[in-house]
A and B are shown apart, each in its own frame.
Chain A
């Protein structure tokens, strides 16, 4: 295959924006987008609430500066302030750009883009399209990519970077339709594969495929991961499935109630109540449950998200998807009764370590969106900032790669390398001595993570988590792939995804064990306070000689000094 100038791995919001921007920056470039699903299936579509931008449509006195401060405070001061500057200053422009391209935003009475309040934000600045914002953004981007004739390789599963020295030669991926392992020699590679929170499996709101493929590939290639221990738990996941009820439900006025019918958030965030930042609200729910004020059910303990007082009209017009999901997955109509909820792993703040231009330490390799970590979310992401992140940094990644592609020479990927990769991938199909079922390993990984590397963490729990992960990795060596065919082998794909999750789980647990403080989403019972003197820094985890190796990186400060974070 002719070498590409840019290969983008992932066809969600970040990947598609990167593709469009790269084409715009230099139309002569040879660009490909690889995705393991059709791009319109990507998990961007599941984002319900919206994207933050200080447009000032709803609150005239909103400013970019306020958005910056809210984001930095929300991050528990772990975000890099120069990166947050970029995120928030670009926000109004990029939301308008999407609007100009055809995204169907909901509208205010004066016909401008509608905005609503969101957790941790001082003003109503979350732009939305009812509760399908991510879906409509993804559709718009996909439509525009089709219009521009972006070259897609759909249903290709990325396997590894081919590396020589400190530069990449390109990507190796498996064509799901044929089972063939193919080479994508490229000058530059952009990873935009989304997050890794699905490693919490049944206690995760994520799609089955959010298995951190891009991060795991980069990690195996020796690129450092940053702040992996910071995993956001969303306060309101559905009890049975972990699926998400948008923060918009609380933004519209929903209450959180315990089994005594008490609006318990008054105890934890008397001012912001239900609209406190996610880490705080999740901890509050978990505390209520731990202290025995939750409801009991065979599917686990839970609390109530009550929307009944909002009325049928509002629920039907503003939260139709939530209603549909509650009815489908819990058998509860939120117009009639409260929705059973509990916190669910939702977002990975950590990811591939990049600079503000999305560059990684490896020449020609970039990462954007949830897959990368600039970092703009620090220890805790604000609702409405993730869609913004994928748009802003997806675009930056596309532009940077397009501008820098000329500096790198495309490497070659040898037949021997492809063959070795194929052998490795299909190893699990041999039956001798292989008996482990991937479904069980996956389930156990989720359980140990939720229990030991979950919302409340502690040294002995984390130790247990680390041991469990190591044991699961051992057992994984004996995993059996039952489908031996070449064509669309989803069994094989799921096993490879599990491998990625296991590799990354190690970095999450290692980071969490090392960080002896509580900050944002990372709460240590044994170290309950934020320790700026020792821990105001990013965690780096790198694979060195097959072992997780910890490192650190300073936080870039700016106009805002460290402060205690209260709501």
Chain B
């Protein structure tokens, strides 16, 4: 569908929006519809979609509410990247578009599709509930409203940025773990969990953490940083995830779960050799029994293909290991002191 007046005046460009379409009532599989409209500088993707809906095809379905980047309704994938349609400038996207003049608009990934650009947010809400993403106040309900907690600016700053989260689920859509495992806690919920955990008013730190260290929890993140890169509010989500992990090791010990054991094994290897001793890593993380049960077939295949990592005695230390160790210990000391001063 193309508008008749195909004009290329200055300040206006004809842009084709390639919109993902799926109506579960009639479509057996999704397809794309092209809508070409003139767009001037300063127009957002959402305004373009509104224009298409009002003037060309009323059946194009998407969510939108505040139109000011604060409610989080209109998150979708624009040219492959999850973001808010209302704060995304069409011309900015065009400048980076692989196919000139074409903007592809698709629903978020990793959440069940409802229709066109609309996905189901219920799984995310379910996880917020599962991981107690709330403050369970140390103040009994009957005493609320009488006195303020005194909270330092320093403590406020610890969670200030995390409270910017508008639950738009862009990070959920970009998360590489969720693509493989829909049960994974998801970045937004980890961020919110962190925000609650560092709040001194909260009383359920231990319980929340106990849930987070289980399977599908905080240790499943692979540090791909996609959540942080795509965050529409530029929240350092990975800092929150690291914060939760440090918290878990500190308050639950190094041998708590396979996650913490894995992290611990990394630290030991790096300090000792300056690199990983991969052959024994699974054993140290998950124990002998688990490794034999789960990794033996893969180990056999690796032997067949001669891809096995060298046995521990053959792993040589990296060059300059002595200087590295000094630096490593110094850094570890710094981190410990930082954590101590944070606690105060």
Q: Which residues of A contact B (CB under 8 A)?
A: 24, 37-38, 40-43, 45-46, 55, 93-94, 96-97, 99-102, 104-107, 109-113, 129-130, 132, 135-136, 139-140, 143-144, 146-147, 154, 177, 207-209, 240-241, 243-244, 321, 324-325, 328-331, 437-440, 481-491
Q: Smallest CB-CB separation from A492: which chain B residue?
A: B58
In addition to A135-B166, A146-B129, A177-B114, 11 A-B residue pairs with Cβ atoms within 8 Å of each other are: A37-B73, A96-B145, A100-B139, A100-B145, A101-B137, A102-B137, A102-B201, A146-B134, A328-B89, A488-B61, A488-B115
**Distance between Cα atoms of A38 and B122 in the complex (Å):** 9
Which B residues are CB-close (under 8 A) to A111?
Answer: 150-153
Bound Cα distance A400, B42 (Å)? 48
- Determine the chain A residues whose CB is within 8 A of the CB of B164 once the complex forms: 132
A242 to B71, CA, bound (A): 16
The answer to whether B286 has its CB under 8 Å from any CB of chain A is no
Chain A residues lying within 8 Å of B128, measured Cβ to Cβ, are 143, 146
A130 to B25, CA, bound (A): 45
Across-interface contacts of B64 in A (CB, < 8 A)? 208
Does B263 count as interface, using CB distance less than 8 angstroms?
Answer: no
Pick the interface stretch among B49-57, B211-219, B238-246, B272-280: B49-57
A465 smallest CB distance to B (angstroms): 23
Tell whether, in the assembled complex, residue A240 and residue B73 are in contact, meaning their CB atoms are under 8 Å apart: no
CB distance from B29 to the nearest CB of A (A): 16
Q: Are A437 and B133 in contact (CB under 8 A)?
A: no
Stretch touching chain A among B155-163, B174-182, B306-314: B155-163
Contact A130 B160 (CB under 8 A): yes
* Closest Cβ neighbor of A243 among chain B residues: B68
**Interface residue? B331 (CB, 8 A):** no
Min Cβ gap B336→A in Å is 27
Which residues does chain B contribute within 8 Å of A135, judged by CB atoms?
70, 163, 166
With a cutoff of 8 Å between Cβ atoms, the chain B residues found around residue A209 in the complex are 65
Asked whether B153 lies within 8 Å of A490 as measured between CB atoms, the reply is: no
Instruction: Give the contacting residue for A143; candidates B69, B72, B135; CB below 8 A.
Output: B135
Q: Which residues of A contact B163 (CB under 8 A)?
A: 104, 129, 132, 135-136, 139
Q: Is the CB of A490 within 8 A of B61?
A: yes
The listed residue (B134, B159, B166) touching A104 by CB distance below 8 A is: B159
Residues of A near B156 (CB, < 8 A) are: 104-107
CA distance A254 to B334 in the complex (A): 42
- B-side interface mostly: loop
* A143 near B133: Cβ-Cβ < 8 Å: yes
CB distance from A445 to the nearest CB of B (A): 14
Q: Give the distance to chain A from B131, nearest Cβ to Cβ, in Å.
A: 11
Taking the complex as formed, is B324 at the interface, i.e. its CB lies under 8 A from any CB of chain A?
Answer: no
Would you call A482 and B59 a contact (CB within 8 A)? yes
Q: Are A46 and B66 in contact (CB under 8 A)?
A: yes
Q: How far is the CA of A287 from the CA of B94 in the complex (A)?
A: 40
B144 contacts the other chain (CB 8 A): yes
Q: Is B202 an interface residue (CB 8 A)?
A: yes
Contacts A96-B146, A139-B163; A487 near B129 (Cβ below 8 A): no
Report B's interface with A, CB cutoff 8 A.
23-26, 42, 44, 50, 53-55, 57-59, 61-73, 87, 89, 114-115, 118, 121-122, 125, 128-129, 132-137, 139, 141, 143-153, 156, 159-160, 163-164, 166-167, 196, 199, 201-202
Q: How far is the CA of A488 from the CA of B201 in the complex (A)?
A: 40
A437 touches B54 (CB 8 A): yes
Q: A102-B202, A132-B164 are in contact. Are A45 and B71 (CB under 8 A)?
A: yes
Q: How far apart sit A208 and B49, CA to CA, in the bound complex (Å)?
A: 14
Q: In the docked arrangement, what's the CA distance between A109 and B139, Å? A: 23
B134 touches A143 (CB 8 A): yes
Could you list 10 A-B pairs, sorted by A, with CB under 8 Å?
A: A38-B121, A38-B167, A41-B73, A144-B134, A147-B132, A481-B58, A485-B25, A487-B23, A488-B61, A490-B61
Smallest CB–CB gap between B344 and chain A, Å?
A: 14
Contact A101 B125 (CB under 8 A): no
Residues of B within 8 A of A130 (CB): 160
Cβ of B145 and Cβ of A40 under 8 Å apart?
Answer: no
Cβ of B201 and Cβ of A100 under 8 Å apart? yes
The distance from the CB of B214 to the nearest CB of chain A, in whole angstroms, is 20
Contact present for A102 and B135 (CB under 8 Å): yes
Chain B residues, Cβ within 8 Å of A243? 67-68
- Contact A100–B149 (Cβ < 8 Å): yes
Q: How far is the CA of A243 from the CA of B65 in the complex (A)?
A: 12
Residues from chain B with a CB closer than 8 A to the CB of A102 are: 134-135, 137, 196, 199, 201-202
The answer to whether A46 and B70 touch (CB under 8 A), given A100-B144, A146-B125, is yes
Query: A-B pairs with the 8 shortest C-beta distances?
Result: A102-B135, A439-B54, A482-B58, A143-B134, A97-B145, A483-B59, A111-B150, A93-B145
Which residue from chain B places its CB closest to the CB of A130 in the assembled complex? B160
Q: Which residues of A contact B202 (CB under 8 A)?
A: 102
Cα separation A130 to B135 with both chains bound (whole Å): 20
Give bound CA distance, A208 to B68, whole Å: 10
The chain A residue sitting closest to B86, CB to CB, is A328
CB of B152 to closest CB in A, whole Å: 5
User: B61 near A489 (CB under 8 angstroms)?
Assistant: yes
Q: How far is the CA of A218 from the CA of B341 in the complex (A)?
A: 57
Residue of B nearest to A483 (CB): B59
A49 CA to B50 CA in the complex, in Å? 29
A104-B163, A132-B164, A488-B115 known; A437+B55 contact, CB < 8 A? yes
List B contacts of A438 (CB < 8 A). 54
A residues less than 8 Å from B62 (CB atoms): 490
**A107 to B329 CA separation, bound complex (whole angstroms):** 37
Chain B residues closer than 8 Å to A486, beta-carbon distance: 25
Other-chain residue from B50, B143, B148 in contact with A112 (beta carbon distance below 8 A)? B148
Residue in chain B with minimal CB distance to A440: B54
Which residues of chain B are near A330, meaning CB under 8 Å? 42
The distance in angstroms between the C-alpha atoms of A99 and B63, with both chains bound, is 32
Q: How far is the CA of A24 from the CA of B54 in the complex (A)?
A: 45
Shortest beta-carbon distance, B205 to chain A, in Å? 13
- Across the interface, A46 reaches (CB within 8 A) one of B71, B135, B144, B196, namely B71
Chain B residues with Cβ below 8 Å from A129 are 163
Contacts of B139 in A (CB 8 A): 100
Report the minimal beta-carbon distance from B289 to chain A, rounded to whole angstroms: 39
A297 to chain B, nearest CB (A): 11
Per the bound structure, the CA–CA distance linking A99 and B149 in Å amounts to 7
Q: Tell whether, in the assembled complex, residue A38 and residue B125 are in contact, meaning their CB atoms are under 8 Å apart.
A: yes
> CA–CA, A424 to B55, complex, Å?
24
Residues of B contacting A40 with CB < 8 Å?
A: 71-72, 166-167
A135–B168 CA distance with the chains assembled, in angstroms: 13
How far does the alpha carbon of A144 sit from the alpha carbon of B144 in the complex, in Å? 14
Residue of B nearest to A44 (CB): B71
Contact in complex: B144, A101 (CB < 8 Å): yes
Which chain A residues lie closer than 8 Å to B137 at the CB level?
100-102
Q: Is the CB of A439 within 8 A of B55?
A: yes
CB distance from B316 to the nearest CB of A (A): 49
Give chain B nearest CB distance to A315 CB in angstroms.
Answer: 16
Q: Which residues of A contact B121 (CB under 8 A)?
A: 38, 154
The residue in chain A whose Cβ has the minimal distance to the Cβ of B164 is A132
Q: Give the docked Cα–Cα distance between A154 and B67 (Å).
A: 20
* The residue from B25, B42, B73, B146 contacting A487, defined by CB atoms under 8 A apart: B25
Give the distance to chain B from A275, nearest Cβ to Cβ, in Å: 23
